[in-house]
Amino acid sequence: MVGTKSVPHHHWSEAERDIVRRDYDGTSESARRLAQRLGVTYYAVKGQIQRLCVTKARRVRWTPQEDATLRELLGKFATIMVARKMHRTQQAIEARAKRLRISRWDKDGWYNKREVSEILGADHKWLQSRIDNGSLVASWHHEHKPGQNGSGSWHFSERSLKDFIRSHPDELTGRNVDMVQIVDLLIGVQREKEAHERERE
């Protein structure tokens, strides 16, 4: 039975660890459910919980001021940085953002290289090669060419990211991508098409 028998030599992927971070609720029952879902033992899940320092924090009610801060910070920083700044867990930040329907990437329709890397599940060298060959269109943020010393940054429009995902789906690895964000982007494309069609009618 999955969750009780030994499953030797399981190599944990980052995607599996993310599932543990997101879905463990501090109870033994949730650990057992995760074991069954991932095809590992209960003790393997408990080991990852300890390794990742995943705990069920005391539920603290969100204030209107915190909600306003969350909206502001999520437009500037990754969720892990927002969590540190707000002294909340990353899971709490993501859950609250979802409840309030706040996009983690809402910055007037553009993304930086780190965010695109997280969305596409790719490293910076992979992204740079796509920028260089023109398949992923990017511009210089504030007209300053990015340098190897960290000066300047790349600026990716929402449209260029959508175009790349639609034109090069074979280059994406399913287990690495941020599927929620990709689906949101592509749904946005469909909504735009429907809006244009309604305008023509």
pLDDT of residue 55: 64
What does the angle CA 177 – CA 39 – CA 5 come to, to the nearest 5 degrees?
160
Q: Quote the number of domains for the chain.
A: 3
Residue among 119, 67, 76 nearest 97 (CA):
67
Is residue 173 within 8 A of residue 117, CB to CB? The reply is: no
Distance of alpha carbon 92 from alpha carbon 82, whole angstroms: 10
In a domain, 130, yes or no: yes
- For residue 156, name the pLDDT band (cuts at 50, 70, 90): confident
In a domain, 105, yes or no: no
Domain interval for residue 116: 110-200
Residues 195 and 116 in one domain: yes
Alpha helices (H) along 53-157: 64-73, 79-86, 90-100, 113-120, 124-133
pLDDT of residue 67: 92
Residue 155 has pLDDT above 90, yes or no: no
Give the pTM: 0.44
Distance of alpha carbon 27 from alpha carbon 39, whole angstroms: 18
Residues 128 and 195 in one domain: yes
Distance of alpha carbon 118 from alpha carbon 191, whole angstroms: 24
pLDDT of residue 59: 57
Distance of alpha carbon 113 from alpha carbon 116, whole angstroms: 5
- For residue 200, name the pLDDT band (cuts at 50, 70, 90): low
- For residue 134, name the pLDDT band (cuts at 50, 70, 90): very high
Residues 93 and 27 in one domain: no
Residues 82 and 28 in one domain: no
Residues 94 and 115 in one domain: no
In a domain, 165, yes or no: yes
Query: Which of left, alpha, beta for 67 (phi over 0: left; psi -120 to 50: alpha)?
Result: alpha
Residues 95 and 163 in one domain: no
Residues 119 and 70 in one domain: no
For residue 140, give the DSSP letter: E
pLDDT of residue 186: 73
Residues 118 and 191 in one domain: yes
Token pair for residue 95?
């859950």
Domain CATH number, residue 182: 1.10.1660
What does the angle CA 17 – CA 71 – CA 179 come to, to the nearest 5 degrees?
35
Lowest-pLDDT range, 28-37, 95-104, 166-175?
95-104
pLDDT of residue 135: 93
Residue 1 has pLDDT above 50, yes or no: no
Determine what percent of the chain is predicted with pLDDT higher than 70: 70
Distance of alpha carbon 183 from alpha carbon 57, whole angstroms: 30
Residues 191 and 118 in one domain: yes
- What is the DSSP annotation of 13-60? -HHHHHHHHHH--SSHHHHHHHHHHHTS-HHHHHHHHHHHT---PPP-
Residues in the chain: 201
Residues 29 and 96 in one domain: no
Residue 6 has pLDDT above 50, yes or no: no
Chain mean pLDDT for the chain: 76
Residues 94 and 153 in one domain: no
Q: What is the pLDDT of residues 55-106, one digit of tens each?
A: 665 456 889 999 999 988 886 766 766 777 887 777 788 788 888 888 655 5
For residues 40-46, average pLDDT: 89
Distance of alpha carbon 47 from alpha carbon 44, whole angstroms: 5
Is residue 89 within 8 A of residue 98, CB to CB? The reply is: no
pLDDT of residue 130: 92
